[in-house]
Amino acid sequence: MKRFFYIVLLILIVAGFIYVYPEIEWSSPEVRVKLESDNLGTRPFDIEVLDSGKGLKNVTVLLAGDHGESILVNKNYPEGVKGDKITIKLDPKILGIKGGAAELKVSAEDRSRLKIFSGNTTTVNKKVNLDLVPPKLDVISTEHYINHGGSGFVVYKSSPDTVKSGVLIADYYFPGYKGHFTDEDVYLAFFAYPHDVQADENIKIFAQDQAGNQKNTGLFYRLRDVKYRKSDINISEKFVENVMIPISEENNSGASHKEIFLKVNNELRKKNNAKIKEMGSNSKDEMMWQGAFHQLSNSKVEANFADERTYFLNEEPIDKQYHLGYDLAVTKRYPIEAANSGVIVYADDLGIYGNTVMIDHGMGILTLYGHMSSIDVAVGDTVQSNEIIGRTGQTGLASGDHLHYGIYINGVAVRPIEWWDEKWIKDNVVNKINEANGEFDSQKEDTSSQN
Ligand SMILES: [Zn+2]
Distance 23 CA to ligand 1 centre (A): 71
Q: In 214-345, where does DSSP find H-type helix? A: 237-239, 245-247, 257-262, 269-281
Q: Mean pLDDT lowest for which of 48-52, 63-67, 403-407?
A: 63-67
Whether 184 is in a domain gets the answer yes
Q: Assess if residue 431 is contained within a domain.
A: yes
Give the DSSP H or E segment for 47. Answer: strand 45-50
Q: Is the dihedral of CA 36, 40, 46, 50 positive or negative?
A: positive
Q: Distance from CA of residue 316 to its chain's centroid?
A: 37
Q: Are 352 and 397 in contact (CB under 8 A)?
A: yes
Residue type, 412: V
Same domain, residue pair 405 and 258: yes
Cite the beta strand spans of 339-391 per DSSP E: 342-349, 355-362, 365-372, 374-375, 382-383, 388-391
Task: Indicate the helix (H) or strand (E) that contains 445.
Answer: helix 431-450
Q: Is 345 part of a structural domain of the chain?
A: yes
Please report whether residue 114 resides in a domain: yes
* Cα of 168 from ligand 1 centre, angstroms: 28
**In the 8-state DSSP scheme, what is residue 393?**
B
Q: What's residue 8's pLDDT?
A: 74
CA–centroid distance, 323 to ligand 1, in Å, is: 6
Distance of alpha carbon 189 from alpha carbon 174, whole angstroms: 7
Asked whether residue 46 falls in the same domain as residue 145, the answer is no
Residue 324 Cα to ligand 1 midpoint, Å, equals 7
Q: Number of helices and strands (H, E) in the chain?
A: 9, 32
Query: Residue 142 contacts by C-beta under 8 Å, 6 or more apart in sequence?
Result: 220, 435
Is 422 within a domain? no
Span from the CA of 350 to the centroid of ligand 1 (angstroms): 13
- Judge whether 192 and 409 are in contact, CB under 8 Å: yes
Domain count, the chain: 3
Nearest to 94 by CA among 121, 57, 67: 67
Domain final position from 111, 131, 151: 131
pLDDT of residue 25: 63
Distance from the alpha carbon of residue 265 to the mean position of ligand 1, in angstroms = 12
pLDDT for the residue 15: 67
- Ligand 1 center to residue 321 CA distance, Å? 12
Structural domain harbouring 15 = 2-131
Range name among 55-64, 115-124, 252-261, 423-432 with the lowest pLDDT average: 115-124
Burial class (CB in 10 A: 0-12, 13-18, 19+), 412: buried
pLDDT of residue 112: 81
The closest of 347, 194, 322 to 270, measured between CA atoms, is: 322
Q: Work out the mean pLDDT of the chain and round it to a whole number.
A: 90
Q: Does 380 lie in the same domain as 249?
A: yes
> 434 phi and psi, to 5 degrees?
-60, -45
Share of the chain above pLDDT 70, in %: 93
Do 277 and 248 belong together in one domain? Answer: yes
167 C-alpha to center of ligand 1: Å? 28
pLDDT, residue 381, reads 98
State in Å: Cα 442 to ligand 1 middle. 47
Residues, CB within 5 angstroms of ligand 1 (ion): 327, 404
Ligand 1 centroid, distance to 402 Cα (angstroms): 8
The verdict on residue 252 lying in a domain is: yes
- Expressed in angstroms and rounded, the spacing between residue 355 Cα and the centre of ligand 1 is 13
Percent of the chain with pLDDT over 90: 75
Which of 131, 148, 173 represents a domain boundary (last residue)?
131
Torsion of CA 77, 78, 82, 88, to 10 degrees: -30
Looking at the fold, whether 395 and 248 belong to one and the same domain comes out as: yes
Asked whether the predicted pLDDT for residue 447 surpasses 60, the reply is no
Among the listed residues 236, 394, 228, 191, the one whose alpha carbon sits nearest the alpha carbon of residue 323: 228
Distance 406 CA to ligand 1 centre (A): 8
DSSP state of 256: -
CA of 405 to the centre of ligand 1 (A): 7
Last residue of a domain, one of 131, 163, 191: 131
Quick: pLDDT tens for 278-301. Answer: 999 999 999 999 999 999 999 999
CA distance 225 to 263: 33
Query: If you measure from the C-alpha of residue 370 to the centroid of ligand 1, how many angstroms do you get, rounded to a whole number?
Result: 8
Contact 402, 392 (CB under 8 A): yes
Statement to judge: residues 198 and 329 lie in one domain: no
Segment 397-424 shows an average pLDDT of: 96
Helix (H, G, I), strand (E, B) or coil at 24: coil
353 alpha carbon to ligand 1 midpoint, in Å? Answer: 8
Q: Residue 180 C-alpha to ligand 1 middle, in angstroms?
A: 34
354 Cα to the center of ligand 1, angstroms: 11
Centre of ligand 1 from the C-alpha of residue 428, in Å: 27
Residue 305 placed within a domain: yes
**91: nearest Cα among 65, 68, 72:** 72
Interval between CA 302 and ligand 1 midpoint (Å): 9
- Check whether residue 294 and residue 355 sit in a common domain: yes
How many C-beta atoms surround the C-beta of residue 106 within 10 A? 22
CA of 56 to the centre of ligand 1 (A): 60
Residue 325 Cα, ligand 1 centroid: separation in angstroms? 6
Whether 58 and 81 map to the same domain: the answer is yes
CATH code at position 285: 2.70.70.10
Residues 6+ apart with CB under 8 A from 225: 148, 199
What is the 404 CA–ligand 1 centroid distance (Å)? 4
Residue 445 pLDDT level (bands cut at 50, 70, 90): very low
Whether residue 249 is predicted with pLDDT greater than 80 in this model: the reply is no
CA atoms of 220 and 196, how far apart (whole Å): 21
CATH classification at residue 151: 2.60.40.10
What's residue 216's pLDDT?
Answer: 96
Instruction: Confirm whether 404 is domain-assigned.
Output: yes
Q: Are residues 222 and 104 part of one domain?
A: no
Q: Sheet holding 316-323: strands in order across? A: 230-235, 307-313, 316-323
Ligand 1 centroid–CA 287 distance in Å is 27
Tell me, yes or no, whether 188 and 266 share the same domain: no
Centroid of ligand 1 to alpha carbon of 146 (angstroms): 24
CA 188, CA 179: separation in Å to the nearest integer? 9
Rounded to the nearest angstrom, the distance between the alpha carbon of 326 and the centre of ligand 1 is: 6
Q: Do 170 and 196 reside in the same domain of the chain?
A: yes
Indicate whether 14 and 102 sit together in one domain.
yes
